[in-house]
Amino acid sequence: MNKHNDKIDWKELLGDEGPLAASIEGFQPREQQQLMGEAVADAIKNHSAVVIEAGTGVGKTFAYLAPAVASGGRVIVSTGTKTLQDQLFIKDLPLVKKALKTDAKTALLKGRANYLCNYRLSRAQSDGRFDDRKSISYLQRIDDWSMVTASGDINELNNVPHDAEVWRHVTSTADNCLGSECEDYEECFVVKARRKAQGADVVVVNHHLFFADLALKEEGFGELLPSANAVILDEAHQLPEIASTFFSETLSSRQLLELSKDIQTESLSHASDMPELQDITRALEKCVADLRLAMDKPGLREPWYKIRSRPAIEQEITNLKELFKGLIEQLDIAAERSKGLESCLERARLQQQYLNAIENPKENSVQWYETYTRSFALISTPLDIADAFKKHLESFPCAWVLTSATLAVGESFDHYTHRIGMEQANELLLDSPFDYWHNALLYAPPDMPEPQQAEFVPAVVNAAAPVIEACEGRTFMLFTSYRALNEAAELLRDRIKFPILVQGDSSQADMIKQFRSLGNAVLLGTSSFWEGVDVRGEALSCVIIDKLPFSSPGDPVLEARIKAIREAGGNPFGEYQLPQAVIALKQGVGRLIRDQKDKGLLMICDPRLRTKSYGATFLNSLPKTPRTSKLDVVKRFFDIVMKKPEEVNS
């Protein structure tokens, strides 16, 4: 292949007689894919930026991988999830390399929490931290696997659940890693993964790793960026929220308790003559427990100002400040005795800094808290990440390609590019090549109550039941809240004869596998099922959405953003809430038609789609499909459009 894409005909390369069609079974040439391939190649060649919305079916993965591999330079590809990351590296990249007949080197790089830490495994075994049989058994399985694994990627080990507590004690964080002074440094799986990535032409990462490094949280990726010719960010609609998370400053009870345990372990080995360290860490653990007790019930996500002035909260925050002061004084003395104690000192200083960010907030930031059953988190989040993101992008003068199936509102990218500070980027809007007009129908049931009314969820179930019957199951019901999901699940059990799968009953992967195998199931899910879920064929023939996915007005970050926009003389609803909801709805709608042969019904129960003026903004952003509010038309659609030709003729 030509090294710099100068003379590559992308229509030919991605055409019906090109190398990808010849090498990849089922490859279908698409004009949109060819246009995207050319746009990506131009960006790489000119070191420019491009933002691309590629509707479902464009084949954006091959459209950016082919130019990336053909460019001859180093390209970093970042995806939204580790699942997509693995698919890119294990499946898609090898296909493109084979098609282009290239020996380009590729590497997969994840955050350090995804790799076994030999040092922490050894310490977990020796310090007797676990006393329950299950954890001890898991620890033994991990130890056995550590003898044979080449990568140390914890995804390899299937007989220890990925959410098991033990993993936290045998993987490292940027906080507790000992770096080059670790006795296991040369055999460190994170170091090996980095070294491989250093020598690769195409490196596949995920957004969390990408931003962890941009936020200077040292995840071992920073040394790659300066030498990159191009960075391709897939699932780019997630970037603003992920960036907000990583540019936030968070102090959690977990961080505090982990610091306490590590200090206790290190001081017993290297500072046994300093009993003050043990006393302070025990006091720290009590303070953390008391602070959680002073907060409210689990499951809250509220502005910090709502509880900050409570006497019990004020007292525990004061105690925490004093404990940090004493802890840092003691660790300052002990730090020279071991690398572990030195690391604990750095962590204590950082956590003290995070507490100060909550107590003394920066301008244009919001402070909030989140409660869980036994734990909590205090967070300071910037309201606008555009300047920070733009500054980081400008630090690396390479090509930037941002792509997703959902970036535009109507035909405009303004909302998205403004949020990430990329107003000067080239833009390309590519519609889905799928024939929605002949293969899909949008149904808006009539006479629905307003979403805030108590009878709304029962009305959704009443309207959905005959549709599910006509579709013979094969339905996703997507909700904007767990409360509505659980209420609908109870009501639906008595209404339909098809298998019902409810989010939370098992893992998402298991639910999707079961949904596919049953072939006539009804799956009820919330936000995590609105995107990244791919069920092709007849098993999914209907998607029902309860209401337009506006963010909860009670969310503390949203509340602060709305206030800031209003104080600046703007319109929070039109500038922020509506565009965000449109992009989220497009993700949910995208679950329906996943293949050229797919057919199906989309049902949106929210009456505001028809009764409010902004309903047109939603409709104009969706694929063009026939619309109806008549149940008879829906039944006829399933009788005629959804039937196989042989069934219609019999």
The pLDDT of residue 641 is 76
Mean pLDDT along residues 110-139: 87
Map tokens 């040092």 to a residue.
119
Identity at 126, one-letter amino acid code: S
Percent of the chain whose pLDDT exceeds 90? 71
**Does 10-105+200-245+385-430 match 436-649 in CATH topology?**
yes
User: Which sequence spans correspond to the domains of the chain?
Assistant: 10-105+200-245+385-430, 113-187, 249-382, 436-649
**How confident is the model over 586-627, as pLDDT tens digits?**
999 999 999 888 999 999 999 999 999 999 999 999 999 999
Q: Which two tokens stand for residue 381?
A: 């989040």
In this prediction, residue 82 carries a pLDDT of 80
Structure tokens at 142: 């991990």
pLDDT tens-digit series, residues 226-246: 678 999 999 999 999 998 988
Contacts of 537 (CB under 8 A, 6+ apart): 595, 597, 598
The sheet carrying 399-404 orders its strands as 106-108, 202-206, 75-79, 230-233, 399-404, 49-54, 426-430
**Residues 498 and 522 sit within 8 Å (Cβ to Cβ):** yes
Pick the CATH number of 249-382 from 1.20.1440, 2.40.128, 3.30.70, 2.60.120: 1.20.1440
- pTM for this prediction: 0.88
Q: Give the model's pLDDT for residue 214.
A: 63
Pairing of strands 365-371, 301-303: antiparallel
Sort 185 into a burial class: Cβ within 10 Å, 0-12 / 13-18 / 19+: middle
Q: Show Cβ contacts of residue 149 under 8 Å, excluding neighbours closer than 6 positions.
A: 116, 156, 157, 189
**Of 176 and 385, more confident:** 385
Q: What is the pLDDT of residue 263?
A: 94
pLDDT at 649: 37
Fold of 436-649: Rossmann fold (3.40.50)
Please tell me the predicted confidence (pLDDT) of residue 313. 97
pLDDT at residue 646 is higher than 50: no
Instruction: Tokens 């040369």: give the residue.
Output: 186
Give the integer Cα–Cα distance in Å for 565 and 571: 7
Structure tokens at 44: 């790489």
Mean pLDDT of 129-143: 87
pLDDT in the model for residue 477: 98
- pLDDT over threshold 90, residue 216: no
In tens, the pLDDT along 251-283 reads: 999 999 999 999 998 999 899 999 999 999 999
| Tokens 């084949």, residue located | 59
Report CA 207 to chain centroid distance, whole Å.
Answer: 8
> Strands of 542-545's sheet, edge to edge?
500-502, 522-525, 475-478, 542-545, 600-604, 440-443, 627-628
State the Cα–Cα distance between residues 473 and 644, nearest whole angstrom: 17
Q: Check whether 218 has a pLDDT greater than 60.
A: no
Per-residue pLDDT tens digits for 158-177: 889 888 889 989 999 877 88
Q: Rounded CA gap, 586 and 176, in Å?
A: 41
Contact yes or no for 609/449 (Cβ under 8 A): no
Distance CA 166, CA 160 (A): 9
pLDDT of residue 219: 41
Q: Say if residue 126's pLDDT is above 50.
A: yes
Region of residue 215 (left: phi > 0; alpha: psi -120 to 50; beta: else): alpha
pLDDT at 215 over 80: no
Give me the residues paired with residue 115 across strands. Answer: 153
Q: Which pLDDT tens digit goes with each residue over 279-312?
A: 999 999 999 999 999 998 998 999 999 999 999 9
pLDDT beyond 50 at 557: yes
Asked if 16 contacts 55 with a C-beta cutoff of 8 angstroms, the reply is no
How many angstroms separate the CA atoms of 120 and 126, rounded?
Answer: 10
> Torsions phi, psi of 593, nearest 5?
-100, 105
The rounded distance, in Å, linking the Cα atoms of 235 and 246 is 17
CB contact at 8 A, 29 and 16: yes
Q: Which of 522, 531, 528 lies closest to 504, judged by CA?
A: 528
pLDDT tens digits for range 465-516? 999 999 999 999 999 999 999 999 999 998 999 999 999 888 888 899 999 9
Per-residue confidence at 5, pLDDT binned at 50, 70, 90? low
* Rounded Cα gap, residues 93 and 40, in angstroms: 16
State mean pLDDT over 318-339.
95
Q: Supply the pLDDT for residue 221.
A: 46
The continuous run of DSSP H or E covering 232 comes out as: strand 230-233
Characterize 354-389 residue by residue with b for buried, 16 or more Cβ atoms within 10 angstroms of its Cβ, and e for exposed. Answer: bbebbeebeeebbbbbbbeeebbbbbbbbbbbbebb
Condensed to tens digits (0 to 9), the pLDDT of residues 423-473 reads 889 999 999 999 999 999 999 999 999 999 999 999 999 999 999 999 999
Identify the three-state secondary structure at position 306.
Answer: helix
CB contact at 8 A, 379 and 252: no
Range 10-105+200-245+385-430 has CATH code 3.40.50.300:
yes
Asked if 305 and 367 touch (Cβ cutoff 8 Å), the reply is: yes
Do β-strands 440-443 and 249-252 pair in parallel, antiparallel, or remain unpaired? unpaired
C-alpha radius of gyration, the chain, whole number? 27
Mean pLDDT of the chain: 90
Q: Would residue 127 be called left, alpha or beta, if left means φ above 0 and alpha means ψ between -120 and 50 degrees? A: alpha
CA distance 235 to 327: 43
Query: Which pLDDT band, with edges at 50, 70 and 90, does 650 fall under?
Result: very low
Distance CA 594, CA 537 (A): 8
Does residue 222 register a pLDDT over 60? no
SS3 content of the chain, % helix, strand, coil (to 5): 50, 15, 35
Point out the least confidently predicted range of 89-93, 210-214, 549-553.
210-214
Look at residue 498 and give its three-state secondary structure: coil
